[in-house]
Amino acid sequence: MAKSNFEYVRDFEHETRCLPNTWIVVRIDGKGFHRFADLHDFVKPNDTRGLTLMARAAADVMFEFTDVIISFGHSDEFSFVFRKNTAVFNRRAEKLSSLVTSLFSSSYVFHWNDHFPDTKLRYPPAFDSRIVLYPTDENMKDYLSWRQADVHVNNLYNLSFWSLVLKGGLKPCEAELKLRGTLASDKNELLFQEFGINYNQEPPMFRKGTTLLRKSVDFLGKGKRTIVMPYYCDIIKKDFWDTHPELLKQGKAGSVEFHEGMEFFEIKKCS
C-alpha cells in the first residue's frame, strides 16, 4: 500500500488485548427495549416469540465464532463465553465486542419475520456490549450463575407485577406500591392466592433463561452435523457441568442423539 503524508494519524489508534488465559465474556444488552417491546406489542411479562428470536440471533453468533463454548440469555440480554485459549482476532477487545454486537443485531433483524410474521419491524433495534475477563473456571461459572439468579428475581417480580395489572386491574403505580418490600415468598403467595398461578409450573424458559450449547448430532445416518441446542435448565448446580464436561475441558462439541421433536438451531442458508 502506498504511503502518504497522512498515515501518521494511525499512531493515535489504540488496541486493547484481553489478558491471556482468561475466559472472555461478551454480554450484549438491548438499548431502550422497553419502548421497543411496547411498540411491537410484545406479550407481557414474557413473549416466547421474542425470547426465541434472541436465542436464534445468539445461535448465529455461536456458528460464526466457534470459540464461544456456551451462551446464556434472558429478556433482552445474552452472554457469550469464549474459551480461555481463544486467539480469535488476537484477543482484541474492541474487535470482539463490536463484531459480536453487530452480528447479533443484524441476525435479530434478519430472523424477525420468522418469529413475528404479522408484526412489521417499525425501527431497527440496537444493542450495546461489554467485555469482562474471568481468570478461573469458578469465576466464569459464578458469572453465569449470577445471570441465571437474576432471571429468577426479575421474572418473579415481572410475573407478579403484570398479573396485578392485567388480571388484577391495578394501575402500574399501584402494582409497584403493592410489591414494594415484598420477599420472594410473598410474591409466590400472591400469585397463587390471587391468580391461581404456581410459579414453579411456569415454563422453564421464563424461570431459567436460555442456555445455548454447541452439539454434534447424527441425523439418522445422514452424517454428523454441528447444531446449537437450547437448554432451559439449572446451570448453577454442579450437575450441569458434570453433564457437559467438554465445556471446562474446552474440547470438541459433545454428542447428542437425534430424536423427533428435538429443538435446535442450524445455520440458515439462502435458498
185 is in an annotated binding site: no
Alpha-carbon span 190 to 196, nearest angstrom: 9
Q: Measured between alpha carbons, how far is 147 from 3 in angstroms, rounded to an integer? A: 49
12 is in an annotated binding site: no
How many Å apart are CA 72 and CA 213, to the nearest integer? 9
Is 269 within any annotated ligand binding site? no
- Would you say 34 is a known binding-site residue? yes
Which residues are CB-contacts of 82 (< 8 A; sequence separation ≥ 6)?
A: 23, 24, 25, 26, 65, 67, 68, 69, 88, 96
Q: Is the dihedral of CA 117, 112, 230, 209 positive or negative?
A: negative
All three cell numbers of 59: 445461535
Q: Is 32 annotated as a binding residue?
A: yes
208 carries a ligand binding annotation: no
**Residue 75 annotated as part of some ligand binding site:** yes
Rounded-to-integer distance, Cα 230 and Cα 221, Å: 23
Buried b / exposed e across 146-167, counting CB within 10 Å, b at 16+?
A: ebbeebbeebbbebbbbbbbee
| 76 marked among binding-site residues | yes
- The residue length of the chain stands at 271
Distance CA 131, CA 136 (A): 16
Residue 154: C-alpha distances to residues 22, 26, 47, 101, 270 (Å): 29, 21, 14, 24, 38
Q: List residues forming the annotated binding site for GTP.
A: 29-34, 75-76
Annotated binding-site residues for Mg(2+) read: 29-30, 76
Residues annotated in a binding site: 29-34, 75-76
